[in-house]
Chains A and B, each alone.
Chain A
Amino acid sequence: MWYFVSPQIIFGEGALDALDEIEGQRALIVTDAALVKLGLVDRVKAHLKNAGLDMRVFAEVEPEPSLQTVLRGAQVATEYEPDWIIGLGGGSAMDAAKAIWILYERPDIEPSEINPFIRLGLRQKARLITIPTTSGTGAEVTWAIVLTDTAEQRKMGLGNREAVADIAIVDPEMAAGMPPQLTADTGLDALTHAVEGYTCAWHTDITDGLCLQAVRLIFEYLPRAVADGSDMEARERLHNAATAAGLGFGNSLAAMAHSMGHTLGAVFHVPHGRAVGLFLPYTIEFGAREAPDRFAELAALTGCSSAGGEEGALALARRIRELIRQVGAPTSLAELGLSRADFEARLDKMVDDAFNDTSMVSALRTPSYDELRQLFVYAYEGRVVDF
């Protein structure tokens, strides 16, 4: 027994026009200051105005949103009493919107209590629309929420199936202004979702197809979108791929690259997509030794290799490393610019946090504590995993 949850997804060029038909009184737009400056918030506001809604903007979401930001946003919602909450932005803004929505609906619970095992009873006060402005996180269709506890320098993986948006508007024009590095980082995030969603222990028949198609699209269109941001065909296909990958991994689970990436991001403030993408080939190589079959199957279905077994899995890792290089992202922690001294000073914490990260439970080959430490060292040095 398992579940597949999804918002209504409105996608493709012009999808934002669907906001004109929204029925309600007040909308709270949860976003960040950069999107206000870029004019994307104004585009959403214009549509909401067409729909006759009053609106307020909470544009205080920072990258890796903190508990404190979410609590402030919930306070704004409580005062404003919206019947729609709109998460506009990348994963940070959309995750913050989900958390703000929950705390607005349920002021009696603490953020840390948002877990998959409780009934929240949402949608009594408001409903949620998500509008991604990057092509990567998939947060527009997932019920996961990642917040940062700044005091503990630790990312908190929260979530509840009820916290999935009612409507996701996946309009490629909202992501068309991404610069090449952001396109690369977020695209690698989507790739990691798709690969881990396909290869994790929680994968399902329902999610496999979404993940597979997302991998195919990202292999083909990510390099094009990075090379030429005005290539709208590439933008649109990549935007769709990120949403498909979000549905795929959001209804299965991420795995070890996310565990390692979460802790790297929390400790060294590396953008999420760059962090998880960097670790992905290493974790595939690690899995290839003892549990290669899912990776090899994916390698075969995406045209990387028909060799099967360990050889096929390693071909997938090589293909992904080539893609990372092609889009100008780092393939090792050293390339990322971390000094050896800084890396070693925080290694114990990273190993400890990654070992206990939620995503670790779904890895097909689970590392011992010492193996995980070794994986971090190999990822620092850019060495192909051979253990």
Chain B
Amino acid sequence: MAIKFPSDEWIKELARQLNASESYEKSAKDWEGDFVFVIEPDEHHPAAYLFLGLYHGKSTDAALLSSETERPAEFIIRATFDNWRRVIEGKLDPIQAMMTRKLKLQGDMKKVMRYPKAAKEIVSCCALVPTDFGE
């Protein structure tokens, strides 16, 4: 059954997929840094905040937050609902999206740049989450 995006259940399922992915584990084995994904509000979607804890190739925690500051995170990525959807569906490459500011990253970019494969693996895991975008 499809899981509503964004939701606590959705981000927890993404964490479960990441923890089952050997490719993600290999590509992020030294990674230390948590993320908050901000879904920017528009006329059809309220703002939402998803926390994803990441440490040494595993997801340590995942939760829907009530605000972007509820849990401290080294990185915050903001995008509209539609752009998040395009990334999750594999229609928008996450690196290209950051280069064109479709995804706006707040945090140490040079650290992120050393793990492009990990970013791609996270998106690959997103594609494994059966997602209901509320249509």
Give A contacts to B, CB under 8 Å.
Answer: 1-3, 112-113, 115-118, 201-202, 352, 355-358, 360-361, 366, 368-369
Contact = CB atoms under 8 A, between A and B. Distances in A.
Interface string B7-40: 0000000000000001100110000000000000
B54 to A, nearest CB: 15
A3 B100 CA distance: 9
B117 A1 contact: no
B3 interface: no
Given A201-B93, A358-B116, A361-B117, A112 B110 contact: yes
B117 A202 contact: no
A318 to B, nearest CB: 29
Q: Which interface residue of A117, A118, A360 has the most chain B CB atoms within 10 A? A: A117
B95 interface: yes
Contacts of B119: 361
Contacts of B133: none
B96 A356 contact: no
Contacts of B78: none
A184 to B, nearest CB: 31
Interface residues of B, number: 22
Interface in B97-135: 98-100, 102, 105, 109-110, 113-120
A115 B113 contact: yes
Contacts of A358: 113, 116
Contacts, number: 49
Contacts of B110: 112-113, 115
Contact of A361 (B26, B100, B102, B120): B120
B117 to A, nearest CB: 5
Given A117-B109, A356-B27, A2 B100 contact: yes
Contacts of A201: 93
A369 B113 contact: no
6 closest Cβ pairs, A-B complex: A369-B26, A361-B120, A361-B116, A117-B109, A356-B117, A116-B99
B99 A355 contact: no
A369 B113 CA distance: 20
Given A355-B27, A356-B27, A358-B116, A1 B102 contact: yes
A2 B98 contact: no
Contact of B120 (A1, A352, A366): A366
Contacts of B102: 1
A360 B117 contact: yes
Contacts of A368: 22-23
B99 A117 contact: yes
A106 to B, nearest CB: 14
B103 to A, nearest CB: 10
Contacts of B98: 117
11 contacts: A1-B100, A115-B113, A117-B99, A118-B109, A202-B93, A355-B26, A356-B114, A356-B118, A358-B113, A361-B119, A361-B120
A215 to B, nearest CB: 24
A1 B102 CA distance: 9
A356 B118 CA distance: 8
B97 to A, nearest CB: 9
A356 B22 contact: no
Nearest to A363: B120
A116 B96 CA distance: 10
Contacts of A113: 109-110
A356 B109 contact: no
Contacts of B26: 352, 355, 369
